Chains A and B, each alone.
Chain A
Amino acid sequence: MSRKTLTRRQFVAATAMSSTALIAAPYVRGAYAAGKLSIGFWDHWVPGANKASTDLVNEWAAKEKVEVTIDYIPSQGNKNLLTIAAEAQAKSGHDIFAMPTWWAHSNADQLEDVSDIMGKIIAENGEVNGTAKYLGTAGSKWLGVPACVGSQIKGPCSRIDLMKKHAGIDVQAMYPAGSEPKADNWTLETFLKAAEACHKAGFPFGIGLGETTDNVDTAGAIFLSFGAHLVDAKGNLTVKTDEVRQALEFYKKLIAFLPPDVAAWDDASNNKWLVSGRGAMIMNPPSAWAVAKRDAPQVAEQCWTHGFPAGPKGRFAPYLPYFWSIWNFSKNKEAARSLLIELSKPAAIEKMVVASGGYDLPAYAKLTTLKVWQEEGPPKGTLYHYPNPYNHQTLSIAASPAPPKIAQQIYAQATLTKMCLRYQQGEAMEKTLAWAEGECEGFMRS
């Protein structure tokens, strides 16, 4: 077999020619020239709502030549929390992940700073509400882009007929569709009287005192309405204060007018309470109303979502946002940023909100008056005040303004509802406060 040897001159010439050809050749953009991107979105409970996100992502992917994979991860059974924990440990997984409430902060060190794109998004959509800032920023760093998908306010959803008949309150007149609330008299005092009247009539308010989020969120808003914080923004213990005592006293009175089994309620209990027609009010996003629309239309027709009652220190409503965050181990951060800008455009947001039947809430000031909330029904306008269009109430999260890493523990351990139950079950006030103080001290470990 003959063997041809390559001379030094031939080698240099061949290398030079190949280099020239590579540099001079025209750039051919392939089908997926901009790489791959994997996304872990929250799996929406509204049928068909995921499709809006998929369509928007696919449109963007086709335009940007990015190969995209989307996983819809449910929050049932905390599957999304388990996936976040696993990806954080493995430092591998999706590029973008939908982080619920506290999880952007608890993974802050592993998330990409998206302040650069947040500037542009805020300029277009308006200022972000305070709770989204509290949960989504660490110092000057934005830990994710506030996602409209899954974000919700857990305000009162009242039965128009029962509130009018038994408590003498016209919730539609108080929160009229299409105009500003006339709710100056809608205070915790009025609320308590209404709770008593509805309880006497056999339709108690369905407010849980279990350890799941719906229960904790309501307690959080009521505590804030009294100015009651267990830990302040600087991380100091503030359990043994008059404000906390007032909040506990209020809850003790309220529990007497609630169903006897509220200590065992979970996030489904209040929904069932409303849909079954047994209660005059629950604190929930419009999911319960949407289920009633399907299963008990006569109940749905009487539902009206509105603002929280005001306490001595203001009117607070529970708000739970999601964030689309980029893991710092993502291999395609630029594409991820580009997609998040696209998903945060007003038209994209409106499309997702419409697909969710008005359930999803944008965190931006200019996007609280979309048409969908004016038109959803029956009754028409039932969701008009759901997105807080007049900033009538302060959107908040339970355990704030404590530093988020401490607040998350207070929230997850349901310290607020446990305090209320302990005190209501006969424990001395000071003993309950001492117990809560001990718990919070434990939450402060670094």
Chain B
Amino acid sequence: MADVALQPDRVGAKQPARNRSGLQRALKRKSTAAFLMTLPLIILITLLVLYPAFYSLHLATLNKSMQRFVGLGNFEFLFKRDTFWLVVKQSCIFAITAVFFKALIGFIVAHFVHNIPAKGQRKWRGMLLVPWVIPPAMSTLAWLWLFDPSYSAFNYTLSFFGIGPIPWTGDAAWARFSVILVNVWYGAPFFMIMYLASLKSVPEQLYEAAAIDGANWWQRIWYVTLPMMRNIIAITTLFSLIVTFANFDIVRILTAGGPLDHTHIFATWAFRIGIEGSDIPLGASVSLFMVPILAVAAIFILRDVNKRGNES
């Protein structure tokens, strides 16, 4: 499709008129119109995303009092700290475990919902989306009360069965379990809805062909459903990995990084150092450490998606 609106040549027109027609032509170009329409968003992103991103890069190169350029000195310092490597390890455990379970639960629930007759499906879809539409800061407060060290509703219930009390947020292992659980609870509906949309777009003929070939339930999933959903699975995983790595609210509200720093992830530790400890350059360096990890993940996943796109 031509990108330029055709204009008959006006031979012999004066110079200013030619300029004006040039401008008109530019304005009538679809790409110009598209650029102008996206300009507000570009300005917004530049102001709210790019500027802070470059500013935090600048901050990460300063010393503690922000008066001297130290280059990569802050990163060099971080690499020597045990707590930093503990945070790296925990961020990876947190993000990978949470994304895996969100994807697994989302996949299973999407299949259940897909098999519900169309009439009642809408109600189920709406109900299952509730955790995802509640602001996480608010829902995590409710979880905090459920996990409260002294007045946990879970422990109260478990006590009737002679179990507990379980130190949900007081013991390192349980605290990690608790923050991952809340993250899975919050994020699984997103996977569910994406997978459900993907499932609905799988042509029914493929299943019919598989059934004629004698494929069982597992073979239908493995050879038909999963290959058809691969791109959606890859994109949702990447998106969720980014969001989960950058999570702040759930950990901050539930454990604030404790006990003994065993639930800190990049964002909460960056906040502890930068804002609560008044060492903004070091805090900026901690938060920037997420960038290369996520960039590598994004490159691999998107390359895979592109490859499959080209093959098809």
On A, residues with C-beta under 8 Å from B are 78, 81-82, 85, 89, 102-103, 106-107, 109, 210-212, 259-266, 269, 272-273, 276, 278, 405, 408-409, 412-414, 418, 421-422, 435, 438-439, 442, 445-446
Contacts and interface: CB of A to CB of B under 8 A. Distances in A.
B255 interface: yes
A276 B143 CA distance: 20
B256 interface: yes
A264 B65 contact: no
Given A273-B150, A413-B272, A212 B256 contact: yes
Per DSSP, chain A at the interface is: helix
Nearest to A414: B258
A446 B64 contact: yes
A446 B278 contact: no
B258 A259 contact: no
Interface stretch (B43-51, B167-175, B219-227): B167-175
B196 interface: no
B56 to A, nearest CB: 11
A103 to B, nearest CB: 7
Interface range for B: 20 to 34
Given A409-B277, A445-B64, A418 B169 contact: no
Nearest to A446: B64
Contact of B150 (A85, A272, A405, A422): A272
Contacts of A439: 83
A273 B149 CA distance: 11
B275 A210 contact: no
A438 B256 CA distance: 22
Contacts of B208: none
A261 B260 contact: no
Given A261-B170, A263-B170, A418-B260, A413 B277 contact: yes
8 contacts: A85-B278, A85-B280, A210-B258, A260-B167, A261-B167, A263-B170, A409-B277, A412-B277
Nearest to B257: A211
A240 to B, nearest CB: 18
B63 A264 contact: no
Contact of B65 (A103, A262, A409, A446): A446
Given A103-B278, A106-B278, A264-B259, 11 more contacts: A78-B275, A85-B278, A210-B258, A272-B151, A405-B278, A408-B277, A409-B277, A409-B279, A418-B260, A418-B261, A421-B260
A261 B147 CA distance: 11
Top 4 nearest A-B pairs (CB, nearest first) are A261-B149, A106-B278, A264-B170, A412-B277
Nearest to B152: A261
Contacts, number: 89
Q: Output the residue of A81, A261, A421, A445 with the most chain B CB within 10 A.
A: A261
A446 B70 CA distance: 11
B58 to A, nearest CB: 11
A266 B256 CA distance: 9
A262 B82 CA distance: 25
Contact of A264 (B64, B169, B279, B280): B169
B54 interface: no
Contacts of A109: 65
Contact of B77 (A272, A276, A414, A442): A442
Given A412-B272, A445-B77, A446-B63, A264 B260 contact: no
A131 to B, nearest CB: 18
Contacts of B150: 259, 261, 269, 272-273, 276, 278
Interface string B142-182: 00000001110000000000000101111100010000000
Contacts of A211: 256-258
Interface string B253-274: 0011111110000000000111
B10 interface: no
Contact of A82 (B83, B165, B261, B275): B275
B119 interface: no
Contact of B255 (A264, A273, A276): A264
A158 B81 CA distance: 41
A442 B170 contact: no
Nearest to A81: B275
B277 A264 contact: no
B283 to A, nearest CB: 9
A212 B259 CA distance: 11
Nearest to B81: A442
Contacts of B257: 211
A438 B82 contact: yes
A262 B165 CA distance: 13
B64 A421 contact: no
Contacts of A405: 64, 278
A263 B259 contact: yes
Contacts of A413: 272, 277
Contacts of B277: 408-409, 412-413
A218 to B, nearest CB: 16
A102 B278 contact: yes
B304 interface: no
A107 B280 CA distance: 12
B65 A85 contact: no
Contacts of B259: 210, 263-264, 421
A218 B275 CA distance: 22
Nearest to A213: B276
A29 to B, nearest CB: 41
Given A210-B259, A446-B65, A265 B149 contact: yes
Contacts of B261: 418
Contacts of B255: 264
B299 to A, nearest CB: 32
A264 B167 contact: yes
Nearest to A273: B150
Interface string B225-261: 0000000000000000000000000000001111111
A89 B284 CA distance: 13
B258 A263 contact: yes
Contacts of A89: 280
Nearest to B68: A446
